[in-house]
Amino acid sequence: MIYQISELQRLGQGCSKIVYQHPEDNNKIIKIMNPDLVSEGGGWQNHTFKSKLSNGVYKQFRRELLQYLELCKTNYHDNKFQFPIETPYGFAMTSHGLGLITEKIVSPNGQGITLFELSRDKKFTDKHAKALAEFYDACCDLHIVYGEVNIAGIMYTESRNNKPEFVLVDGIGEKLFLPIRSLFKSINTKNIRKMQKRIDAEIQVLLNAHS
Ligand SMILES: Nc1ncnc2c1ncn2[C@@H]1O[C@H](COP(=O)(O)OP(=O)(O)O)[C@@H](O)[C@H]1O
Ligand SMILES: [Mg+2]
């Protein structure tokens, strides 16, 4: 079964991916690489060197899947499959390349809401601040590795575990050639705490901005 992208409902878009509602499961989404940015050979257009790297545009999927597998491995004993990152469910074939099927993160208003939108719309309250602090702590604890995380890549939900919760949907997995963050938990924790400071500062700027 190959899904026709033109028939799917678009839910979101970032600088590299487009996100669609899964047509058969309301709780899932399909992420594809923006076809406008992909070259004939499956690399990024305008990146001659990068396009030659293995997996081309799908490298992001690979990083995310490797990180998920690592978490399942580390937590094998507890039979734990859910972490503060979106849960990947597999692949979908689409008219515009391979899609990654993942868990859909929905906010209490029934739509997806990112940390950026919460802050921009001045809807970020104490309950969000507490959930966000718990998110960073859990990422340190679980040794979750990110590349670049931006504030539109962290989403808010209350329906995942019946409590306020933030979930990472973008930038998941080791990006460094020398995987020092994966190898050393202490280095990874330092990186997460650095990101926490940066993101918290960005939230304050958005909250204080005049709309
Ligand atoms: N798991 C998800 N559930 C619901 N919406 C999502 C999910 N992942 C991404 N989105 C929406 O799609 C947008 C782009 O997705 P993202 O993975 O961040 O792509 P990019 O790598 O291009 O930035 C997000 O900012 C968010 O609005
Ligand atoms: Mg993004």
The candidate with the shortest Cα–Cα distance to 85, out of 100, 99, 67, is: 67
In this predicted model, what pLDDT tens digit does every residue of 60-109 receive, in sequence order?
Answer: 999 999 999 999 999 999 999 999 999 999 999 999 999 999 999 999 99
DSSP H helices, the chain, are 48-52, 59-74, 115-120, 126-142, 180-183, 185-208
Exposed, middle or buried by CB within 10 Å (0-12, 13-18, 19+), for 177? exposed
- The token duo for 126 is 């104490």
pLDDT score, position 205: 97
Distance between CA atoms of residues 164 and 25, nearest Å:
23
pLDDT score, position 157: 98
What is the model's pTM?
0.95
Taking domain 1-104, whether its CATH number is 3.30.200 is answered by yes
Nearest atom in ligand 1 to the alpha carbon of residue 171 is 21
Q: Does 170 sit in the ligand 1 pocket, CB within 6 Å?
A: yes
Distance between CA atoms of residues 100 and 88, nearest Å:
7
Give residue limits of the domains in the chain: 1-104, 106-211
Judged against a pLDDT cut of 60, whether residue 112 lies above it is answered with yes
pLDDT confidence tier of residue 47, bands split at 50, 70 and 90: confident
Judged against a pLDDT cut of 60, whether residue 18 lies above it is answered with yes
The candidate with the shortest Cα–Cα distance to 146, out of 90, 63, 88, is: 63
In this predicted model, what pLDDT tens digit does every residue of 150-209 receive, in sequence order?
Answer: 899 999 999 999 999 999 999 999 888 888 999 889 999 999 999 999 999 999 999 999
Q: How far is the CA of 77 from the centre of ligand 2 (A)?
A: 32
Q: How far is the CA of 168 from the centre of ligand 1 (A)?
A: 9
What mean pLDDT do residues 28-41 have? 95
Q: How far is the CA of 171 from the centre of ligand 2 (A)?
A: 7
